[in-house]
A and B are shown apart, each in its own frame.
Chain A
Amino acid sequence: MYRLVVLVLALTVIPFDGYAHGERAQQATTRMRTIIWYDIEIGPASVLVGEMVTVKGRFRTSTNWPEEIPSVEGRVFLNVGTAGPNFVRLAANIDGVSAVQSTSLELGKDYAFEILMKARKPGRFHVHPILNVKDSGGMVGPGRWVEIGGSADDFENSVETMFGREVNLETFNLDVIATWHVVWFVVGGAWLFYWLRQRPLLVPRLRAVEQVESEGKDADVLISQTDVKVAIGFLMVTLLLIIAGFTWAERDAPTTIPLRTAKINMPADKPYPTSNIKVVVDKASYRIPGRSFRMQLSVENQGPATLQLGEFLTANVRFINPAVKTVVPLDEHDLVASDGLRVNNGSIAPGETKVIEVFAEDALWETQRLTRMINDPDSVIAGLLFFYGDDGSREIVEVRSQMIPVFD
């Protein structure tokens, strides 16, 4: 019994490190059809306290965004998914526009982003880009482990206000905050002490109040003139302290501005992404026993280079065709199936239209809970196809289809 109590206390009281950010918690269909992250780079993978870490890449706002989920056309904020402020974010931008505050985006567009962070606390942390979408939640991108070495004591984070005040954000104004809280604790404590020193307090006063009221009198007679004088004194001191503090603050910081909440405007004329390839999904199915997703695609190559399908990206999982390119996972949680993509009848010559068969096969379908979409009201699968040309070019196209499960 004793051991059980210790175990329960240990599990509930001792804090454990958090390793995940709920990236698998969202419905598969939501992850596939909202923000499609690609070309993500997070690094370096090992830094010292005070050194910089960059999170950058691109994301596409899906044209297949579920209409029941509020989209990026409302309000979004480019964020970082990590276990607390182990980094400080020094800059963030979307398409080169500073993303210090929230903004709006358009559906079906392609955006580049970059976040600069400074390592703050030693440890090993999983870092994701996140796009918080108002009324929908965080759309989590791929994560990487970042190891921070050194000592937290070496961390410095200072800025200067427009009036030349040096601000150490780690300890800013704490002396003033602590002083005023102590002052008010002393004044409040003194008021309580004035009353509580008359112990026993409650029971005799209860009796006295009942006694006075039973005699048909007002219990206010229990309040002495001294009590009133003391109360007037405390009231005056409190009001004077408030006025003095306010006056001091007005002199200390004579020019202040309200909190900034303006929405950042992105350029309005951003073009839709184009490609030299046209793809139609004829049919798609998922064979449950083999964890095998199969698509039949009608592909029209409108470009000058012979193309081959090299990658299928859905819900941050990358299925790679090893015949076209080599991608290895960067760490144990990098969602890459290095030989997860197989293509029949693969090369598409310039001007050619043909039907190809694509197989995306890996346990990641199960471990990333992507097949749970069978339980969704609309079993729609969507993602990006990456075609590579023999001239080194890359064509990206978004596809979507109903996914039909095959149970045998």
Chain B
Amino acid sequence: MASPADRLALARHLERNVDLILLAVIIFAVAGATIFVMSVTIGDWEFWADWKDRRFWPLVPVAALLVFPAGLAAAFWSRFRLPISCTAVVLLYTLLRWVSVYLNFHLFGGYPLSFVWPSVFIPLAIIVDCTLLITRSVFLTGLIGAFLWGLLVYPANWPLLAAFHEPIMFNGEMLTTADLLGFEYIRTGLPEYVRQVERSLLRTFGDAVTPLTAVFAGFVCTLVFYVSWAVGLLLNNQAWIKKI
């Protein structure tokens, strides 16, 4: 018969391990779901260098990526008061994305890594988590944190991307380095016109494409955050979840 002290020690030991397993399962499941959804919906924007434009790439992937982390944040905040879910999911998502582009596109597909590198999203997640902790307000986190998530994706990635947008003269035409990669490294099933990138339209407001997109992305991300939080909270309060 174990003593009460032994039983308490065993309980704490079990608690530590259950804790670890539970955390790993939740984060892996959500990050896995995120990368699956991102891959089948907006994957091309996320890694091809010649898809990272000024209008759609800073808006669509970044808004779509926020759905799962924000939903999980609702659960982690309401149940544990833990502001880590956005960072944890995005960090693991980025790691999985690196594994995916390295194995699928570099080793198997044969594309240079400089053509298929994943975007940077981790700092955006840190900002949302920190804002949630500092303000302890869902409303302010959506208004400030999620807005910054959308607003800062372009500057956060610019150190990696800028050099790809330097002009090159190629066969009498001016291209970016990213365009040249897209032309030279053959993609049979992905012709140039398939890219969903900025084209010359009237609604570009002159040169202010990037700031406008950034502000709009911030606005969209704020809305996405609130909706995802509400859905996350709804799912979290289901009876079957509570039994778990």
In chain A, residues 142-181, which have Cβ atoms closer than 8 Å to a Cβ of chain B? 157, 159-163, 165, 167, 169-174, 176-177, 180-181
Cβ of B106 to closest chain A Cβ, rounded Å: 11
The residue in chain B whose Cβ has the minimal distance to the Cβ of A81 is B188
The answer on a CB contact under 8 Å between B133 and A228 is yes
**Measured CA separation A261–B12 after assembly (Å):** 61
The answer on a CB contact under 8 Å between A21 and B81 is no
Asked if B38 lies at the interface with its beta carbon under 8 angstroms from chain A, I say: no
The answer on a CB contact under 8 Å between B81 and A222 is yes
Task: Give the tally of cross-chain contacts (CB within 8 A).
Answer: 286
Chain B residues whose CB sits within 8 angstroms of the CB of A273 once the complex forms: none
**Measured CA separation A89–B180 after assembly (Å):** 10
User: How many positions in chain A have a CB within 8 Å of any CB in the partner chain?
Assistant: 95
Q: For B87, give its contact among A192, A239, A246 (CB under 8 Å).
A: A192
Asked if B83 lies at the interface with its beta carbon under 8 angstroms from chain A, I say: yes
In chain B, residues 108-157, which have Cβ atoms closer than 8 Å to a Cβ of chain A? 108-115, 117-118, 120, 122-123, 125-127, 129-131, 133-134, 136, 152, 155-156
B interface footprint on A257-294 (CB within 8 Å = 1, 0 otherwise)? 11111100000000000000000000000000000000
In chain B, residues 172-207, which have Cβ atoms closer than 8 Å to a Cβ of chain A? 172-181, 183-189, 191-195, 197-200
Could you show 29 A-B contacts with beta carbons less than 8 Å apart?
A77-B191, A79-B186, A82-B188, A85-B110, A85-B186, A87-B186, A102-B192, A132-B194, A162-B169, A170-B112, A172-B114, A181-B94, A185-B122, A191-B84, A191-B130, A192-B87, A200-B12, A201-B19, A202-B80, A205-B82, A208-B81, A209-B78, A228-B134, A232-B134, A235-B134, A246-B155, A250-B158, A258-B53, A260-B173
**New A-B pairs, 9, CB < 8 Å, besides A161-B177, A177-B113, A234-B130:** A100-B183, A160-B168, A174-B114, A191-B87, A242-B155, A242-B156, A257-B166, A257-B176, A259-B179
* B interface, CB within 8 angstroms of A: 12, 15-16, 18-20, 22-23, 50, 52-54, 78-84, 87-88, 90-91, 94-95, 98, 108-115, 117-118, 120, 122-123, 125-127, 129-131, 133-134, 136, 152, 155-156, 158-181, 183-189, 191-195, 197-200, 209
